[in-house]
Amino acid sequence: SQRTLVLLKPDAVRRGLVGEIIGRIERKAGWTIGALELRTLERATLEQHYAEHVGKPFYEPLVEFMSSGPSVAMVVEGERVIEGLRALAGPTDPIAAAPGSIRGDFGTIVRENLIHASDSVESAEREIKIFFPELG
């Protein structure tokens, strides 16, 4: 079994989509929520989380957006949950995301794409330590 770090981004919280998105995650067989917190993310936290993107043209506006209001940070556990949550979220660009995926159903803007989910076992362990150090 695996665990992954999920963020419901400030656009999801502002638009009242938290229940809808968590509902989709909860309904997947055998997946469970291991930790959950509503929190406005600090720049320092985001700098760690998005370390791979520091210096890219979209980095500053991304951090600005991600710290613009509360996000929901959660750890989700279960069978192939890393790959599974990336599939449930859909591709980064919501316009390229198929209907039925979270980004495909609710998104139009690349930056405001509703959800983050870890992209590998290594990223999941690194990111869980950032947001839930007590679970590290």
30: left (phi over 0), alpha (psi -120 to 50) or beta: left
Determine whether the annotation assigns residue 58 to a binding site. Answer: yes
35: helix, coil or strand? Answer: strand
CA distance 6 to 118: 7
Number of residues that bind ligand GTP (CB under 6 A): 9
Q: Residue 45: count other Cβ atoms within 10 Å of its Cβ.
A: 17
Residues in 94-113 at the binding interface with ligand GTP, rule: CB under 6 A: 110-111, 113
Please pick, from the candidates 21, 117, 128, 130, the single residue that binds ligand GTP as defined by CB under 6 A: 117
Minimum CB separation from ligand GTP for residue 30, in Å?
22
Note whether 83 binds ligand GTP by CB under 6 A. Answer: no
Note whether 116 binds ligand GTP by CB under 6 A. Answer: yes
Residues in 18-57 at the binding interface with ligand GTP, rule: CB under 6 A: none
Residues 6+ apart with CB under 8 A from 102: 21, 24, 88, 89, 90, 114, 115
Closest by CA to 2, choosing from 86, 80, 89, is: 80
Q: Which is nearer to ligand GTP, 23 or 56 (CB)?
A: 56
Residues of the binding site for ATP: 9, 58, 86, 92, 103, 113
Task: Point out which residues bind ligand GTP (CB under 6 A).
Answer: 58, 62, 92, 110-111, 113, 116-117, 119
Active-site residue numbers? 116
